[in-house]
Structure 1
């Protein structure tokens, strides 16, 4: 297994001996790393940067889209190489390392009306009462459903109390068998990013580790039950794509996908009828899982002061309303169906209420922990034997805990 240097160590290196502050009079180019190359996202980011340039003509903002799979590793490698971005889009899994490292500048003075920020949305991004990162995207996961494919297969979408994981997989299995398409795709999982499986296993009340981050949860019965269900859904029911099988819901290749509303823009061509619903209920009841993206200003970036000023503009109430088209804001005043519907014309107010607003109110953020790069790699490697038809689920999950117990104890 390839050794990954701890994120915290790289960030500490930056804090101690980074490139240093070099804001100066004259033209400035700010570099902001993101993980999205979605043309609609890029267009919006560039539009906000262009608006900023009208009042700050000497400031140019360059958005650098990096592949999601290696995003955090790439950013920290840039940091270790003495070339940190001025602003970084930080994924929730890496937030504990970035927030605790001292590498980011506090943002309390760079955010309009911090009192409007939902406490649940900012909890992961604070240290000692200071806002270290701004969670500009606080987005629960939902299930997009290709209702045309379901109709073709003679299936109907379960509703109300019938929208359970058991019924969702049954419909996905039947639709895949009848249409030759795939059933349910957990987007961005691809048997690599295991954290996206939280959208499933939390329906069993399972979690990767205890609330204090010290005790592994993979060998606990709720996780064993959830992963047994998932394994059966893949290899017995054929309701999910098997390892090595690619299927893009947004190209009409599957009946369902688990994703966030930022993906809705991929459906604007209207090639098929679809709907968006919350995650199915599991044995432990209804639940919601939230993915977050935060903005951080690197203290040792070349233009930290100018970067903080741009973040203030980027996260203003006016621009938060624009960003809400893809990225639900942490602003309580904007977390209502009317505001979100204005920014998301492809989604109905009731969909936004049921998936986004209610999801933020009750949801938990995807798994995060200090030392996330090492832990995530260890979990991924230890889970590899699970993705075979004859896997011993209990034994594999015990092996995950054996792999990560020393890392959780650090």
Structure 2
């Protein structure tokens, strides 16, 4: 197994920090991202071009890396002496990056007093902002209303929008149409953290708030994973392992995703809507995914990178980015402001999924040593994805695998 994230960063810090100022001459900043979505790339490049117009000696390139191995690739680059100047950091890796000392403080961010304390909590060390969570995005459910109608199904609303009803509709639609029912996007039986969008409906947590106690054997998690297992193998409401289905290509009735995916529906050939996550046994809830920008001390141009991040995240550009990435700026977290940047979504959808979701939601699981813990959980969960799996036994195995890691 590759070394965990904190080990990579520790090695680079022991080797000494690079200069925070570049040599005289043109500077090319490299920012790693996990998105190659053309709409995202176009917006990033437009912001970079505007910056370069006022700073002709500075250019910015965006290096899109595969999501599945994104953090591992970035940390390998750091350890190998090829650190990016700026990195898009996933919430799961934030505790390691923030605590390690590998990042340049960002308290110089423009209008920093506008940042939501809740949105920035994961990105601070001793009160200092170490990463800027430019994307604070709750998950919702995109629904192919045409596919439901063709199956004689209607979308449950109000108090009827529960996980039980959702799985029933997804199952019936899949059986009638030959398409898939509900897809947890980017899960694919690999990234288990995306299942938090389901299991938190039961009040389940991967580990305790202090990060020291495994939560997989607690009753809420057992109940949630039992429900999920039955939804996959009995109700056939979710694609089975090895089955791929792209909602945005019309291949499934529903998908759990963030509003950044809405751009994929610009030319959709089917009717669709966006609704909040279904209520679980513990009631309504929201789960948030965050992406933060960090300036690497080991990058070659730390000062220039910090200046670009300040520009990239200023109020004007934050409003542009809100088309895909809900900002942490309190002044912009309202339906009317978000609607200006999101013409495909109705103000009511933005209010219920995004604004209310940020106000009431919790961030996906994160922990120091996230790479090693995440790999251990994934491996221990593998036996669950079989029709005859013993759910309780599998979850007991998960805790056995990660208890020593949580205790570090």
TM score, norm. by length of structure 1: 0.99
Q: Which residue of 2 aligns with 1:130?
A: 128
1:36 aligns with 2:40: no
Q: Is the 8 A contact 1:19 1:83 kept in 2?
A: no
Detail structure 1 runs of 4+ shifted over 2 Å in the superposition.
none
Q: Which residue of 2 aligns with 1:211?
A: 209
CA RMSD of aligned residues (A): 0.7
Q: By how many angstroms is 1:300 displaced?
A: 1.7
Following the alignment from structure 2 to structure 1, what is the Cα–Cα distance between the partners of residues 265 and 347?
17
Q: By how many angstroms is 1:18 displaced?
A: 5.0
Following the alignment from structure 1 to structure 2, what is the Cα–Cα distance between the partners of residues 210 and 92?
17
Q: Which residue of 2 aligns with 1:304?
A: 302
Q: 1:354 aligns with which of 348, 352, 355?
A: 352
Q: Which residue of 2 aligns with 1:87?
A: 86
Q: Is the 8 A contact 1:97 1:370 kept in 2?
A: yes
Q: By how many angstroms is 1:24 displaced?
A: 2.1
Following the alignment from structure 2 to structure 1, what is the Cα–Cα distance between the partners of residues 397 and 310?
45
Q: 1:117 aligns with which of 115, 118, 140?
A: 115
Q: Structure 1, unaligned stretches of length 5 or more? A: none
SS in 1 for 2:66: coil
SS in 2 for 1:108: coil
Following the alignment from structure 2 to structure 1, what is the Cα–Cα distance between the partners of residues 322 and 12?
32
Q: 2:274 aligns with which of 273, 276, 294?
A: 276
Following the alignment from structure 1 to structure 2, what is the Cα–Cα distance between the partners of residues 371 and 144?
33
Following the alignment from structure 2 to structure 1, what is the Cα–Cα distance between the partners of residues 13 and 291?
22
Q: Which residue of 2 aligns with 1:262?
A: 260
Q: Which residue of 2 aligns with 1:331?
A: 329
SS in 1 for 2:104: coil
Following the alignment from structure 2 to structure 1, what is the Cα–Cα distance between the partners of residues 192 and 134?
23
Q: By how many angstroms is 1:172 displaced?
A: 0.2
Q: By how many angstroms is 1:288 displaced?
A: 0.2
Q: Which residue of 2 aligns with 1:50?
A: 49
5 Å-filtered alignment, 1:7-406, equals 7-17=5-15, 20-21=18-19, 22-109=21-108, 111-406=109-404
Q: By how many angstroms is 1:19 displaced?
A: 6.3
Q: Structure 2, unaligned stretches of length 5 or more? A: none
Q: Is the 8 A contact 1:19 1:82 kept in 2?
A: no
> CA offsets per residue over residues 6-51 of structure 1, 9 Å max, x none?
1111111222225612512210000000000000000000000000
Following the alignment from structure 2 to structure 1, what is the Cα–Cα distance between the partners of residues 300 and 267?
41
SS in 2 for 1:31: strand
SS in 1 for 2:223: helix
Following the alignment from structure 2 to structure 1, what is the Cα–Cα distance between the partners of residues 13 and 106?
17
SS in 2 for 1:141: strand
> CA offsets per residue over residues 103-128 of structure 1, 9 Å max, x none?
0000001x111110001100000011
Q: Is the 8 A contact 1:176 1:183 kept in 2?
A: yes
SS in 2 for 1:84: coil
Q: By how many angstroms is 1:377 displaced?
A: 0.2
Following the alignment from structure 2 to structure 1, what is the Cα–Cα distance between the partners of residues 32 and 147?
37
SS in 1 for 2:273: strand
Q: By how many angstroms is 1:155 displaced?
A: 0.4
Following the alignment from structure 1 to structure 2, what is the Cα–Cα distance between the partners of residues 316 and 114?
9
Following the alignment from structure 1 to structure 2, what is the Cα–Cα distance between the partners of residues 117 and 271?
38
SS in 1 for 2:75: helix
> CA offsets per residue over residues 187-211 of structure 1, 9 Å max, x none?
0000000000000000000010000
Q: By how many angstroms is 1:248 displaced?
A: 0.1
SS in 2 for 1:43: helix
> CA offsets per residue over residues 347-381 of structure 1, 9 Å max, x none?
00000000000000000000000000000000000
Q: By how many angstroms is 1:295 displaced?
A: 0.2
Q: Is the 8 A contact 2:26 2:57 kept in 1?
A: yes
Q: Is the 8 A contact 2:205 2:221 kept in 1?
A: yes
SS in 2 for 1:259: strand
> CA offsets per residue over residues 142-186 of structure 1, 9 Å max, x none?
000000000000000000000000000000000000000000000
TM score, norm. by length of structure 2: 0.99
Following the alignment from structure 2 to structure 1, what is the Cα–Cα distance between the partners of residues 12 and 269?
48
SS in 2 for 1:354: helix
Following the alignment from structure 1 to structure 2, what is the Cα–Cα distance between the partners of residues 209 and 190?
22
Following the alignment from structure 1 to structure 2, what is the Cα–Cα distance between the partners of residues 270 and 74?
33
The size of the alignment, in residue pairs, is 407
